[in-house]
Amino acid sequence: MQHLGFSHTTLKIGSFDFTCCEGCQLQLANHESSLPAFLELLDIRNFREISSERHDDYDIALIEGSITRQDEAERLETIRKNAKVLVAYGSCACFGGVNSLKNNFPLDQTVREVYGDKSVDTLPVRKISDVVKEDYSIPGCPVSKEEVERIIVSIATGSIISLPKYPVCVECKQRLNTCLFDLGEICLGPITRAGCDAVCTSGKTPCLGCRGPADDINFPSFMQLVSDLKLSRDELDEKLGFYNCFEEFRHDKS
């Protein structure tokens, strides 16, 4: 990774929310043991959930949420111009996330169902990289606080930034869980990037893929596994589409 040349020791940071539940910002703001040390590294220039400061000079812009209105796209473009480094964090920002379910229906039908005759300014959901260049993305719904802190510290120090390349199954097996496929469930763990410590499957809930695809996944083989086990194709499609993370694989005809 290139050295970003931050000359000051305190990193100027802004965090900005777009269409989302703000759960990822909340993860960062949680009062846990690492928060004081983390905040010592940062000069919070703009972070609505934890500070009343409002400034436009920041080194790093953390972007939470997806883009669903024209004014959001314009605001994001301004933030991109102000920031040296732009980081999309959370599955809404990285992939569109649960908001993207809206894109499965005609826009006017969705507006009518939700808002009736009221006029609403809304667009199909876009992830951050559909609108501006992002430098890094940190997936998860919500993100792992530890992972975001580690990556921000790495940006500040010019260290190597990486996410786990392997799938959730690795962490799930390390926790000695019974595989949910053996219990007749469809789990996206074999194709999803690890880093959450298999939190869902450890609670006996199948992985829905919120961290997006792991590196070098064998998607056709995963589809074949589900077919061989005679599990529901409709349920599989629903799970694959939930966070909008696997679109490039689902529609790859090669």
Strand-pairing partners, residue 13, are 44, 60
Residue spans of alpha helices (H) in the chain: 23-29, 35-41, 70-82, 91-95, 107-115, 145-157, 168-174, 199-202, 219-228, 233-241, 247-250
What is the number of other CB atoms lying within 10 angstroms of the CB of residue 121? 10
Q: With binding defined as CB under 6 A, does residue 23 bind ligand SF4?
A: yes
Quote the tokens at residue 194. Answer: 């690890």
Please tell me the distance from the alpha carbon of residue 75 to that of residue 6, in angstroms, as a whole number: 25
Q: How many residues bind ligand SF4 (CB under 6 A)?
A: 36
Q: How close are the terminal C-alpha atoms of the chain, in Å?
A: 32
Minimum CB separation from ligand SF4 for residue 138, in Å? Answer: 10
Among 62, 83, 138, 189, binds ligand SF4 (CB under 6 A): 189
Among 13, 14, 18, 20, binds ligand SF4 (CB under 6 A): 20
Minimum CB separation from ligand SF4 for residue 158, in Å? Answer: 27
Mark the segment that binds ligand SF4 (CB under 6 A) among 17-25, 104-112, 127-135, 214-222.
17-25
Q: With binding defined as CB under 6 A, does residue 51 bind ligand SF4?
A: no
Q: With binding defined as CB under 6 A, does residue 196 bind ligand SF4?
A: yes
Residue whose CB is less far from ligand SF4, 10 or 126: 126
Q: With binding defined as CB under 6 A, does residue 98 bind ligand SF4?
A: yes
Residue whose CB is less far from ligand SF4, 44 or 187: 187
Closest to 178 (Cα-Cα) out of 211, 143, 205: 205
Please tell me the distance from the alpha carbon of residue 32 to that of residue 157, in angstroms, as a whole number: 23
Among 12, 14, 45, 142, binds ligand SF4 (CB under 6 A): 142
Please tell me the distance from the alpha carbon of residue 66 to that of residue 215, in angstroms, as a whole number: 23
Q: With binding defined as CB under 6 A, does residue 210 bind ligand SF4?
A: yes
Mark the segment that binds ligand SF4 (CB under 6 A) among 39-47, 152-160, 167-175, 244-252.
167-175
Residue 110 makes CB contacts below 8 A (sequence gap 6+) with: 102, 122
Q: With binding defined as CB under 6 A, does residue 201 bind ligand SF4?
A: yes
Please tell me the distance from the alpha carbon of residue 206 to that of residue 137, in angstroms, as a whole number: 24
Q: With binding defined as CB under 6 A, does residue 97 bind ligand SF4?
A: yes
Residue whose CB is less far from ligand SF4, 10 or 162: 162
Most distant CA pair in the chain, distance: 58
Mark the segment that binds ligand SF4 (CB under 6 A) among 112-120, 129-137, 191-199, 220-228.
191-199
Quote the tokens at residue 12. Answer: 């100027």
Q: With binding defined as CB under 6 A, does residue 141 bind ligand SF4?
A: yes
Q: Which residues bind ligand SF4 (CB under 6 A)?
A: 20-24, 64-65, 90-92, 97-98, 141-142, 168-169, 172-173, 177, 179-181, 187, 189-190, 192, 196, 198-201, 207-211
